Structure 1
Amino acid sequence: MTTSHSPVPVLPFADWLELIDDRSAALRVAAEAADPRARVPGCPDWTARDLVAHLGEVQRFWAATVAAGPAARPPAEASVPQSEPAGDLLAWSAESTSLLLETLGTAGPDTECWTWWAESGNPATSGAVARHQMQEAAVHARDAQETAGTTEPLPSDLALDALDEFLHVGFGSMDGWPHAPARVALASDEGHAWTLILDSTGASAVRGGPGGGPEADAVLSGSASDLLLALFRRVPWDGPGLRLIGDPDLVRQLVVWPPLG
């Protein structure tokens, strides 16, 4: 596979904050339209109410983490204010989002803080937290929409950035690949590509297709939204929105490899 894909656009810090706000609001709109007891297809152990509570708890945790500054450990549970829902769930959720955004805005993009991915070599900063929380809100907003029967694709700019983050941080934090060494290329319809190199050390993401290097063992193509949702097991990797050239067993192994919350 040769490619002339352009560099992957990484969104600025201000856009991450705006999209956290937008996608968190979209989750609440969809959750309000759904039966609160309905099961979430992407997270079948959760109800719609559980989904709203989860995102709020996560946002409050990361607000406390960023506020604590440089640290060797995550904040103690007692230091996370109102970590469990109280009163009106949607109002509590909106307050959770506001708390996270206020904390990130005050910190700016470069404040160091604890992150679970620090050992992977990726930045452990408030900016990295903002980027990861944009992805979290976006995927769970889509979960809420699916629960309500109102799914829509993720915005392209968000999906491209979130896919880049997931490949570098999510996959980059994994232990050794448990199968034969391989390369998987992901090519977005928006014109950007990545190559994921899988071996006994784990996974390394390279922006761009294989180009003049070794050929990929599998190439999965589609919109950035569908590629991201497939890696999150929200849409089937062999569904109508995606196209595969190469080894289907390899892609199947890749999709089930990382643990997902």
Structure 2
Amino acid sequence: MHNALGFSDLLRLIDERSAAFRAAIAAAPSLDVQVPTCPEWTLADLAWHIGERRQVWAATVAAGPADARATPDVVPMPEDRDAVVAWLADSTRALLDALAEAGPDRGCWVGWTKSQSPATCGAVARHQVQEIAVHTYDAQLTVGAPQPLPEEVAVDGVDEFLFTCNATTEPWPYEPAVLEYHVTEGLFWALHFSSEGARAERLTAPGEADMVATASAGDLVLTMYDRVGLDVLEIRGDARVLDRLVEWIPG
């Protein structure tokens, strides 16, 4: 059974993945190079996104329960490479300090209202691990040194994506179906699709499903965020279920 990471683990992983992101930025021959997995962005754009969003999320967490994401005055990104790296570190520290001050159970604006994930600072921290981890992969790929997602990040990332990004109360527009994900680390999940939406479930063992997709947790997370193709998955059953999920955009 999947054991969710503790709050201190989430803060540690945000810090670690952010350091890995900064290392890729520092190693890049130029920040003007295009990011293959975000082709509309250069590395400079990606760095801005990481730093600016961490500042916004720091302010949002600090604001406590609210109806909207905070809109702080963001410290602009400098041009000098060393200064960019320092600015990224400061932005991450602001987020980590805000999360540590708030704690995991305090309410927070999250942006997801129909999923199975709560509107808490703990849920924000959990999602932030995945955002920085995937963008670190983007940066590493851009500089020619992509690294697999750390196993603890990847395993929790499958669970987090299913419960936060896939789960919804929006009606599934096709016939009811069950999609199972099996990861080679020995864990299992199911997505149940119906007129009541999509419901994620953790499994203790494989069940009965219309389709089963198997991969390592790291590869699965990267498919979920459209970083690698679906051909890394071993698929059994009705592949239309996954195709429909990929095309489905709940309102």
Tell me if both proteins adopt one fold, taking TM over 0.5 as the criterion. Answer: yes
Q: Does 1:223 align with 2:222?
A: no
SS of aligned partner of 2:190: strand
Q: Does 1:123 align with 2:115?
A: no
The structural deviation recorded for 1:44 is: 1.2
Change (3 A) 1:224 1:138: same
Match of 2:201 among 201, 206, 211: 206
SS of aligned partner of 1:144: helix
**Equivalent residue runs for 1:181-260 within 5 Å:** 181-208=176-203, 211=206, 215-239=208-232, 242-257=233-248
Name which of structure 1's ranges 110-119 and 57-66 shifts more when overlaid on structure 2: 110-119
The structural deviation recorded for 1:253 is: 2.8
CA contact (8 A) 2:107 2:120 kept: yes
Specify the alignment match of 1:46 in structure 2.
41
Change (3 A) 1:201 1:40: farther
**Equivalent residue runs for 1:141-160 within 5 Å:** 141-160=136-155
The structural deviation recorded for 1:118 is: 3.6
Specify the alignment match of 1:86 in structure 2.
78
CA separation in 1, counterparts of 2:53 and 2:89? 13
Specify the alignment match of 1:4 in structure 2.
none
Question: What is the TM-score of this pair, normalised by structure 1?
Answer: 0.87
Question: What is the TM-score of this pair, normalised by structure 2?
Answer: 0.91
Gaps of 5+ in 2: none
Specify the alignment match of 1:107 in structure 2.
102
Over the matched positions of the two proteins, sequence identity in percent amounts to: 46
1:122-160 CA-to-partner distances (Å, cap 9, x unmatched) read 211111111010110101001111111111111111111
Match of 2:16 among 19, 22, 34: 22
Aligned residues: 246
SS of aligned partner of 2:226: coil
Match of 1:168 among 151, 163, 167: 163
Provide the aligned C-alpha RMSD in A.
Answer: 1.9
CA contact (8 A) 2:35 2:42 kept: yes
CA separation in 2, counterparts of 1:257 and 1:45? 23
Specify the alignment match of 1:3 in structure 2.
none
Specify the alignment match of 1:72 in structure 2.
67
Change (3 A) 1:69 1:180: same
CA separation in 2, counterparts of 1:150 and 1:256? 31
Query: 1:86 is matched by which residue type in structure 2?
Result: P
The structural deviation recorded for 1:32 is: 2.5
CA contact (8 A) 1:232 1:255 kept: no
Q: Does 1:135 align with 2:127?
A: no
SS of aligned partner of 1:110: coil
1:213-253 CA-to-partner distances (Å, cap 9, x unmatched) read xx2111111110011111111111113xx311112232233
Query: 1:136 is matched by which residue type in structure 2?
Result: E
SS of aligned partner of 2:234: strand
Change (3 A) 1:40 1:178: farther
Give the number of the structure with larger relative contact order, counting CA–CA contacts within 8 Å between residues 6 or more apart: 1
The structural deviation recorded for 1:99 is: 0.4
CA contact (8 A) 1:117 1:173 kept: no
CA separation in 2, counterparts of 1:47 and 1:256? 27
Gaps of 5+ in 1: 1-6
SS of aligned partner of 2:167: helix
Match of 1:9 among 3, 6, 9: 3
CA separation in 2, counterparts of 1:168 and 1:64? 25
